[in-house]
Structure 1
Amino acid sequence: MGSKRNFLDRPQKRSRTEALLLEKTPPISEKFPKFLVMHSETEKPLSKLSPFLVAKVIEGVVGKDFHAKKMSSGDLLIQINTKRQSDALLTLNSISDYRVTVTTHRTLNTVQGVISEDDLLDTPEEEVVEGLATQGVTAARRITLRRDGVELKTKHIVLTFESTSLPEVVRAGYLQCRICPYVPNPLRCFKCRRFGHGSRSCRGTNKCAKCSSKEHVAETCENEPLCSNCEGHHPAYSRSCPVWKQEKEILALKIKENISYIDAKKRFAFVSKGSYAQAVHRGSARPMVSTGTQTSSDDSRLPLGPPSSGAVPVALPSNRKVDAPPSASTSGTVPKAPPPNRKVDAAASASTSGQGMTSPAPPAASVPRGRGLQPRTSAPQRKPGEHPKQSTSAGQPEAIASPTEEPMDESGPRSDEDALL
Structure 2
Amino acid sequence: MDQGFSHNTACQIVGINSRTGRRWRNGYNPTAGKKGAPPVRGQVAPQVGPSRYLREEDRIHIADRVREKVSIREIARELGRAPSTISREVRRNRHPTNGQYRPHAAQARADARRPRPKPSKIGQNPELRAYIQDHLHKRWSPEQIVQSLRRAFPERAEMQVCHETIYQALYVQGRGELRRELARALRTGRAIRKPRRLAQQRQPRYSTPMVMISERPAEADDRAVPGHWEGDCIIGKNSGSAIGTLVERTTRYVMLVHLPIDRSAERMRDALVETMATLPTHLKRSLTWDQGSEMGAHNEFSMATGMPVYFCDPASPWQRGSNENTNGLLRQYFPKGIDLSVHTREHLDTVAAELNARPRKTLDWDTPAERLATLLIASK
Bin of the TM-score, shorter chain as denominator length: under 0.3
Higher strand share: 1
Structure with bigger RCO (C-alpha 8 Å, 6+ apart): 2
TM-score (norm 1): 0.19
TM-score (norm 2): 0.20
Higher helix share: 2
